[in-house]
Structure 1
């Protein structure tokens, strides 16, 4: 057997090697103690409050490393409600409404449900963006991993036979990832802050569909980061100006009140169709002329 080594071979054994060796130690009061566990295999230790900074780092690193390995260079992010059904299911909800309030809400859901189809179509278009000469993937469709508009986005990529990402979050009530996310790119987060960071670290365009508190949180954080120069400007594509946004928030009033500048309103591109949204992406990124949409 040769005793020669490659200069690039590591000197220390890998963590996997040490973990395997640790699993075969003889049983004794000392080796059975919690203290004897390797730190990275000690779940109770990792879940201590004192280890929160380490968990932050792990939650930052895991998706980052796996996306790098998958050669994902940039994302097309889709924000939106988890509660707006696709059109057929919205009609069912209206038909089954029992009270006046339920009927009014169902009617509004029906009105917004058409954007499910636009989200799906937009994801299909983005998923056709070609892989570059280095094998890097761009405008990879990414959602929060849940139902409604998030599902529509992953579903659109799935229609094209392309991979898509889901960034799910642990919630008190069950929220499973939708069935259209690529399994190896289906991530789960504990920390909202790190989840939002991963949305934006690779984002090159963000489409925002009607939504609730979570969608508002994500949208206004992005607009704030662009406004303050913390991230460079990217297309922020809002769907449903008259149907939804003008009814629930008066952005022009913010400018008239002097709490934002009039120019800040230009950070938003209003859209009604997937084609309009993608046209703005192509205006910003010249490389879109490589596509046959």
Structure 2
């Protein structure tokens, strides 16, 4: 009898689930102190709610730009591209670097023609003559734009076709060689990634980066991290300070095994041997002879692709194996 009474005492009616957002009766904090008790309360509360300190941190642009919040900005700079690339199914990348000033041959030829005409009209103009000299040099190396575009198309067609994001072209998102690589992927209907860097002056991404995979990154360090995180190979076309900066960073990281070495391809041996005398570095003892094996040269889009695949075959792996991301 006692057991039955205890069971009956514990019995209850399960209430229906409450509304996840709305209450039937408001909480005390949902109303302002009555004007009958303090006529100025409403105005003071309005001022508090409008103050900078009350604004939620993630919605306070002034707060987010403070030097002391740099750590949070660095984290967000990393997290947003990483999250969106994961959502797009991007697993691995082939990263293409190269000069912003190396335009496609037709544009390079047009610039030379325009400057030739200007110089004919102003034969004594030293500045025009100097600009024409540079334009002719750009025209001479503009075939690298074509090679980068062809390479982007090869990568775009790889795997299971353009919809396969297991291996995706990645660039810095700018003009020149970067544009060419993104454009090659675009030509075959494949997605590609562009990591623009925020600069003091206004700039635009090239028009061939895929929507949803075009990022504006604030910090160079985070941009470099994204370049390397999923990289299965890094391809360097002729370029200036930015290209050299990325190249020496990657070579140093591979040399020290801070990253697991991956294929590093320098496109245009005649250009790179003038810029980087690696044999002289080894001969002077400032690098080791084995460091010369960290990279090789290529001259064509197919040559780049074949060399990368051969490197992976010789390592007993595959270009399409999922990359283990660095710490």
TM-score range, shorter chain: 0.7 to 0.9
Measure the CA separation in 1 of the matches of 2:216 and 2:187: 23
Alignment of 1:265-280 (within 5 A): 265-280=292-307
- Maintained 8 Å contact 2:159/2:167: no
1:241-273 superposed Cα distances (whole Å, 9 cap, x missing partner): 11x122233222111111111221111110000
Q: Which has the larger radius of gyration?
A: 2
Measure the CA separation in 1 of the matches of 2:69 and 2:298: 44
Say how many residue pairs are matched: 270
Measure the CA separation in 2 of the matches of 1:208 and 1:288: 18
Match of 2:96 in 1: 78
SS of corresponding position for 1:205: strand
Alignment of 1:48-197 (within 5 A): 48-97=66-115, 98=119, 99-131=128-160, 137-197=165-225
- Maintained 8 Å contact 1:129/1:138: no
Alpha-carbon offset, residue 84 of structure 1: 0.8
- Maintained 8 Å contact 1:78/1:150: yes
Measure the CA separation in 2 of the matches of 1:177 and 1:240: 25
What stretches of structure 2 of length at least 5 have no aligned partner? 1-14, 22-31, 33-41, 120-127, 321-327
Measure the CA separation in 2 of the matches of 1:87 and 1:192: 30
1:258-293 superposed Cα distances (whole Å, 9 cap, x missing partner): 11112211111100001111011211334469xxxx
Alignment of 1:170-249 (within 5 A): 170-242=198-270, 244-249=271-276
SS of corresponding position for 2:48: coil
- Maintained 8 Å contact 1:124/1:157: yes
1:56-94 superposed Cα distances (whole Å, 9 cap, x missing partner): 111011111111111111001000000111011111222
Q: 1:288 to 1:49 in 2, by over 3 A?
A: closer
Alpha-carbon offset, residue 95 of structure 1: 2.1
SS of corresponding position for 1:184: coil
- Maintained 8 Å contact 2:96/2:236: yes
Alignment RMSD (CA, Å) = 2.5
Match of 1:47 in 2: 65
1:195-243 superposed Cα distances (whole Å, 9 cap, x missing partner): 111001100011100000000000110011000001111111111111x
Alpha-carbon offset, residue 2 of structure 1: 4.6
